[in-house]
């Protein structure tokens, strides 16, 4: 039997960090709120009325404001979704922490009725690129090596492929990057704690880092990225995944060679035959 790979996320730690964020005097839920508003806006462009929605989210308090009639379930490894019960499933800003993202997508697809819609929102690979670069350089300087500190986030091309692997029809992935500025890297890190988005990697170093590490990181960050007014930017890339549960009513791609009209005629241009690759070319 093959050895099982270690989990990406320490779920117990992640739950603690999220609970701590919610009990802070000022939790930083603005990215969650923006994502919920964007999903709601996108749904206005879909010619469909959804009567049985569900939302997967670690912060149902935020998403309930946008989707009060939805079933809200936590983003556990096993989702509490009834199979075939929903015409809309939203996975809200937590898929980047999943130990098995394909498994999460498959569970969402199974919870959909035929021709039901899935929308997933998560952080993408450009997120915190400045912090990751500065932290890596500082850690090499102060300790001579690297340790896992920021969760690896998928690129948009990989996430689109995951939708296909999970069995969705008509998969689409798109992204939007947002830059948020802070007085210092320490204010950014405080905001990440207030989001519940701190280091919950299972393979993270459990011992306290050297005190000089974060001072070195802050200096590198400011020197490399500071704006003219002295603030530092932090990139947050949000990726939106859309797919439909398969249904016979959906459009199917045409078979190769089945077209009945030429593209050249539709464009009103002359058709130029491709050169025969078997014949030598003269320049």
- 265 pLDDT above the threshold of 90: no
Predicted local confidence at residue 237, as pLDDT: 96
Q: Cα(260)–Cα(126) distance, rounded to whole angstroms?
A: 44
Task: Catalogue all structural domains in the chain, each as residue range(s) with its CATH number.
Answer: 11-133+150-202+233-248 (3.40.50.150)
275: Cβ–Cβ under 8 A, 6 or more apart, which residues?
A: 281
Q: Which of 58-67, 209-218, 273-282 has the highest mean pLDDT?
A: 58-67
Q: What are phi and psi of 278, to 5 degrees?
A: -80, -15
Give the pLDDT of residue 279: 45
More confident residue, 145 or 30: 30
CA separation for the pair 34, 31 (Å, rounded): 5
How much of the chain is helix, strand and coil, in % rounded to 5? 35, 20, 45
3-state secondary structure of 64: helix
pLDDT at 278: 47
| Distances in whole angstroms, Cα of residue 74 to Cα of each of 55, 116, 186, 239 | 8, 20, 30, 20
Phi, psi (5° rounding) for residue 178? -130, 135
pLDDT at 117: 98
Structure confidence at residue 258 as a pLDDT band (50, 70, 90): low
What is the separation, in whole angstroms, between the first and last Cα of the chain? 60
CA atoms of 187 and 189, how far apart (whole Å)? 5
The better pLDDT of the pair 223, 264 is held by 223
Q: How far apart are CA 246 and CA 15, in angstroms?
A: 34
pLDDT digits (tens, 9 = 90+) for 152-172: 788 888 888 999 999 999 999
């Amino acid at each position: 039997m093959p050895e099982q790979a270690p989990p990406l996320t320490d779920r117990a730690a992640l739950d603690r960090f999220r609970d701590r964020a919610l009990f802070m005097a000022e939790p930083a839920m603005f990215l969650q709120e923006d994502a919920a508003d964007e999903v709601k806006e996108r749904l206005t462009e879909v010619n469909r009325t959804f009567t049985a929605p569900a939302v997967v989210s670690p912060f149902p308090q935020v998403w309930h404001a946008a989707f009060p009639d939805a079933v809200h379930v936590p983003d556990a490894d096993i989702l509490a979704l009834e199979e075939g019960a929903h015409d809309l499933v939203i996975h809200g800003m937590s898929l980047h922490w999943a130990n098995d993202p394909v498994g999460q997508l498959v569970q969402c697809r199974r919870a959909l009725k035929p021709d039901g819609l899935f929308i997933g929102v998560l952080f993408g690979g450009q997120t915190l690129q400045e912090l990751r670069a500065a932290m890596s350089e500082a850690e090499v300087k102060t300790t001579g090596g690297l340790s896992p500190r920021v969760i690896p986030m998928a690129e948009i091309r990989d996430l689109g492929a995951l939708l296909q692997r999970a069995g969705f029809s008509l998969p689409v992935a798109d992204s939007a990057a947002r830059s948020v500025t802070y007085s210092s890297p320490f204010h950014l890190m405080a905001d990440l704690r207030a989001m519940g988005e701190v280091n919950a990697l299972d393979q993270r170093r459990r011992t306290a880092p050297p005190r000089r590490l974060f001072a070195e990181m802050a200096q590198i960050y400011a020197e490399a990225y500071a704006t003219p007014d002295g603030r530092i930017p932090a990139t947050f890339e949000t990726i939106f995944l859309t797919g439909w549960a398969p249904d016979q009513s959906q459009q199917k791609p045409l078979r190769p060679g089945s077209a009945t009209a030429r593209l050249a005629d539709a464009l009103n241009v002359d058709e130029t035959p491709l050169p025969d690759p078997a014949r030598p070319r003269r320049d």
